[in-house]
């Protein structure tokens, strides 16, 4: 199935509303805005989604105008998650509420800047071709992002807490997509991860 228009096609949801306390317990440094090559962590994550999908929503926390502004400048639609402190599921649900008309969603993390656009495209394609959930596998290990079809929208919208959609992926059949992309395993949790 060819890409539908921006509305109704596959949509990227970039979760960029976390606190990043493992990166900097004091909360002074925002890991998403840390330099990475000629970019920042979150901008690199967003660019990879934007290269693969026609529409990307970025969910950011209230008051994080720097992240919002950077992502808006790249072409993301910005969604403010007022209750971001409640956890990742709240951010995901907020994003989904703004993209319920999509064929499906690729849910990506703002602190995973090394995922290749080709991996994102492959996951989106699996959902377009009928998979309810598509997960990337690198050398037998499951990583992120994860793509969901419309069938699981009610379950996704009911999520709460900080586990994100992990329980849905665990409890329902999913299509494993083998990728030669170590980026699906690499998130930026501590300053040493930037090296």
Burial code (b: 16+ CB inside 10 Å, e: under 16) for 68-90 equals bebbeeeebbbbebeebeebbbb
Start-to-end C-alpha separation, the chain: 40
Buried residues in 157-170 as b, exposed as e (16+ CB within 10 A): eebeeeebbeebbe
Helix axes 65-74, 41-52, angle to 10 degrees: 30
Q: What is the pLDDT of residue 3?
A: 38
Q: What is the mean pLDDT of the chain?
A: 92
Cα 18 to Cα 4, 38, 141: the distances in Å are 31, 23, 24
- What backbone phi and psi angles, to 5 degrees, belong to 33? -100, 5
Residue 142: beta bridge partners? 137
Identify the CA nearest to 13 among candidates 64, 69, 53, 67. Answer: 53
Query: Residue 108: pLDDT above 80?
Result: yes
Cβ distance 132 to 151 under 8 Å?
yes
- Cα(8)–Cα(194) distance, rounded to whole angstroms? 36
pTM (two decimals)? 0.93
The residues with which 13 forms a beta bridge, in sequence order, are 57, 107
DSSP state of 76: P
Give 66-100 pLDDT, tens digit per residue.
999 999 999 999 999 999 989 889 999 999 999 99
Beta bridge partners of residue 96, listed in sequence order: none
> Which tens digits make up the pLDDT trace of 121-157?
999 999 999 999 999 999 999 999 999 999 999 999 9
For residue 18, name the pLDDT band (cuts at 50, 70, 90).
confident
Beta strands in 110-174 (DSSP E): 133-138, 141-142, 146-149
Q: What is the pLDDT at residue 41?
A: 96
């Amino acid at each position: 199935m060819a890409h539908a228009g921006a509305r109704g096609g596959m949509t990227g949801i970039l979760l960029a509303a976390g606190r990043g306390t493992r990166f900097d317990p004091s909360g002074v440094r925002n890991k998403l805005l840390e330099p990475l090559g000629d970019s920042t962590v979150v901008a690199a994550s967003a660019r990879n989604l934007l290269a693969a999908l026609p529409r990307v929503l970025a969910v950011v926390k209230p008051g994080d105008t720097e992240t919002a502004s950077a992502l808006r400048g790249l072409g993301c639609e910005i969604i403010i998650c007022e209750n971001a402190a409640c956890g990742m599921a709240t951010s995901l649900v907020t994003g989904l509420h703004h993209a319920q008309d999509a064929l499906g969603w690729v849910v990506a993390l703002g602190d995973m800047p090394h995922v290749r656009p080709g991996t994102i495209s492959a996951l989106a394609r699996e959902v377009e071709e009928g998979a309810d959930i598509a997960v990337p596998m690198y050398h037998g290990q499951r990583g992120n992002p994860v793509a969901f079809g419309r069938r699981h929208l009610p379950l996704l919208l009911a999520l709460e807490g900080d586990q994100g959609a992990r329980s849905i992926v665990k409890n329902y059949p999913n299509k494993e997509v083998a990728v030669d992309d170590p980026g699906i395993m690499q998130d930026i949790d501590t300053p040493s991860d930037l090296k």
